[in-house]
Every structure is written in C-alpha cells, then in structure tokens.
C-alpha cells in the first residue's frame, strides 16, 4: 500500500518537468536577419531562372534573291524605239498563245471605226468560225472604249490553234482597222493566260507622217518600220472613198522581226481626194472571207491627196 502511494507521489513530481521540456523556447533572432534571408532567396531565384532560361538566339535576316541579270523570255519580240502608238484594237487579255478553255473572257480597248461597229470572230485551226459577234462601240479616238466579252466555243479535238480576230470599218465600208490574237484552244483543262507583251502597240510606225496629212505631186514617200505577223508579203495601198485602189506596193520582209522599210507610192488623180493609206498582211491559215479576205492585220490612216 505504501509502495502505491510512493509511486503516485513520484509521478506527480515528474509531470511539471515533462511539461516544461515539451514547450519550445523561442530563441531571439539577430537584427536584420529576415531582410537578409529575403534578399538571398531572391538572388537565388533569379540565378536559377537565368541558368534554366535558354540562351537568346538572333533571328536570321532573310536573304533576298537577286534579280537575274539575264532577261527573261518574253512572248513577243522586243520593239525597236519608235513603236509607242497603242493599237486601235488593243488586246488586254488573253495574250499571245494563251491556253484557253470555253468560255474565253476577252478584254479589249477599242477605238471603233467610223461605222461604230466592231466585229469579233473566234476562228478555229482550219479557219472555221467558232463564234462571231457584233459590238456597237461609240467612236473614241482617245484612249478607246473598254469591253469585256465572253466567247463560247466547242472543238472536237483535245486542242487546236485558234485566232481571235477583231475588225472595224469606216463610214464608206472600207476596213479601217483589224487585229488578230493567236491562241491555243482546249476542250478540257484550265486557262493559262500569257501577258500581252508588246502586242499592245501598232505593228507599223511611219516617220514624218500623221493622220490627215496632205500629199502633193503624185508621189507619196514612205519610211518607217514594220513588225510582220508571219513571212507573207505586206501590202501598202491608197484606197479612195469608193473603194478604188489608186496606188499599191508590195513589201517583202525577211522574217518576223521588226524591219525598216522605205518606198514610194505613185498615184494619179484629177482632183483632191481623201484616201486611206492601208498596210496589211495576210495569213494562209485563215479562210478567204468575202469582206476580210485573209487579213491578219490591217492599219489605216486618212490622207488628202492632191494632183
């Protein structure tokens, strides 16, 4: 019994000591300790981020490809100086030897003849008419009148060569202008449009001669340059209002590059006569049309002839 009491007394004596050892005693921190820890922690964080970040790399400057010094091939020959007069029938699109499927979107600038009617023919390889239309165009001797025209066609072969021929007449039913664009026609596929190139200009250039000039003495002296369509002869004519040819001359060029020419057209008249100086070339690939014959190109200007 006494042992039990003794044990209880001993346990009660030990309890305060255990309580005191279980409670931690706060140790006072040295001055500026907290600010120092924050600073060190921040420096460590920035150092770690810098070490983990990838090294900066410079973005390479794109290298420009130099323009080739060798001239690119063009769909038409380069004109000699002086060919600066825009064609009275000026094709905008398509350009020469474009590959076309139906329908063709034809875009042109037209200076109509005095008749104010423009005829548009789409011709096949053998000269057959695939489509023909007449457009009434107000005569504008300035920049011309814009037209966008759809040309439908059907061909039996997969492809064939074709021509878009546009012409206009004056008030005396003489051909005033005619121009032709050679193209490739396809029954299926996609259009491949070539640029118009130098075909925007007239194919003839006269030196010292303009529309409406007066000519005396029975001889018209001509000098200039011409760009042939093909190797066929080129003809110069003086045509009276009633369609009579009072002077004619054939020019023979060596190829299809621009060449100079110099010639004379002697004429005989009894009174002052307003005529058309016409230069034209034919194509054997075209049919002999009652009105347009086999013309592939015609350029005219009015001149006043005196005996």
Domain chopping of the chain, boundaries: 89-305
Q: Which CATH class is domain 89-305?
A: mainly beta
Q: Cα separation of 168 and 117, whole Å? A: 6
Q: Cα separation of 305 and 159, whole Å? A: 49
Looking at residue 143, what is its pLDDT?
A: 76
188: helix, strand or coil: coil
Q: Cα separation of 290 and 34, whole Å? A: 111
How many CB atoms are located within 10 Å of the residue 217 CB? 11
Looking at residue 10, what is its pLDDT?
A: 47
* Bridge partners for 271 per DSSP: none
Residue 281, token pair as written in the block: 């070339």
Q: Cα separation of 217 and 113, whole Å? A: 29
Looking at residue 137, what is its pLDDT?
A: 92
Looking at residue 139, what is its pLDDT?
A: 86
Per-residue pLDDT of the chain (307 residues; tens, 9 = 90+): 454 554 554 445 444 444 444 434 444 444 443 343 333 333 433 333 333 334 433 333 333 333 333 333 344 455 566 677 899 999 999 999 999 999 999 999 999 899 999 999 999 998 899 999 999 998 887 778 999 999 999 999 999 999 999 999 999 999 999 999 999 999 999 999 999 988 899 999 999 999 999 999 999 999 999 999 999 999 999 999 999 999 999 999 999 999 999 999 999 999 999 999 999 999 998 988 999 999 999 999 999 999 9
């Amino acid at each position: 019994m006494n042992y039990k009491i003794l044990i209880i007394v001993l346990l009660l004596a030990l309890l305060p000591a255990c309580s005191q050892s279980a409670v931690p005693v706060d140790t006072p921190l040295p001055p500026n300790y907290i600010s120092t820890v924050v600073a060190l922690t921040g420096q460590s964080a920035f150092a770690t981020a810098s070490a983990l970040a990838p090294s900066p790399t410079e973005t390479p400057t794109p290298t420009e490809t130099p323009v080739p010094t060798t001239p690119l091939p063009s769909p038409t020959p380069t004109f000699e100086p002086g060919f600066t007069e825009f064609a009275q029938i000026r094709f905008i699109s398509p350009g020469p030897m474009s590959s076309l499927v139906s329908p063709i979107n034809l875009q042109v600038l037209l200076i109509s003849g005095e008749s104010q009617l423009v005829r548009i023919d789409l011709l096949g390889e053998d000269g057959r008419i695939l489509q023909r239309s007449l457009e009434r165009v107000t005569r504008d001797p300035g920049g011309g009148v814009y037209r966008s025209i759809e040309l439908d066609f059907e061909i039996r072969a997969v492809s064939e060569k074709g021509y878009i021929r546009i012409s206009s007449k004056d008030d005396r039913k003489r051909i005033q202008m005619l121009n032709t664009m050679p193209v490739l026609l396809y029954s299926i596929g996609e259009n491949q449009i070539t640029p118009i190139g130098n075909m925007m200009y007239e194919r003839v250039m006269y030196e010292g001669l303009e529309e409406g000039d007066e000519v005396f003495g029975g001889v018209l002296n001509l000098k200039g340059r011409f760009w042939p369509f093909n190797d066929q002869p080129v003809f110069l004519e003086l045509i009276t209002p009633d369609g009579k040819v009072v002077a004619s001359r054939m020019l023979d060029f060596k190829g299809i590059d621009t060449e100079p020419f110099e010639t004379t057209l002697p004429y005989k008249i009894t009174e002052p006569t307003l005529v058309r100086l016409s230069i034209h070339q034919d194509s054997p690939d075209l049919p002999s049309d009652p009105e347009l014959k086999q013309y592939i190109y015609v350029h005219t200007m009015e001149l006043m002839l005196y005996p």
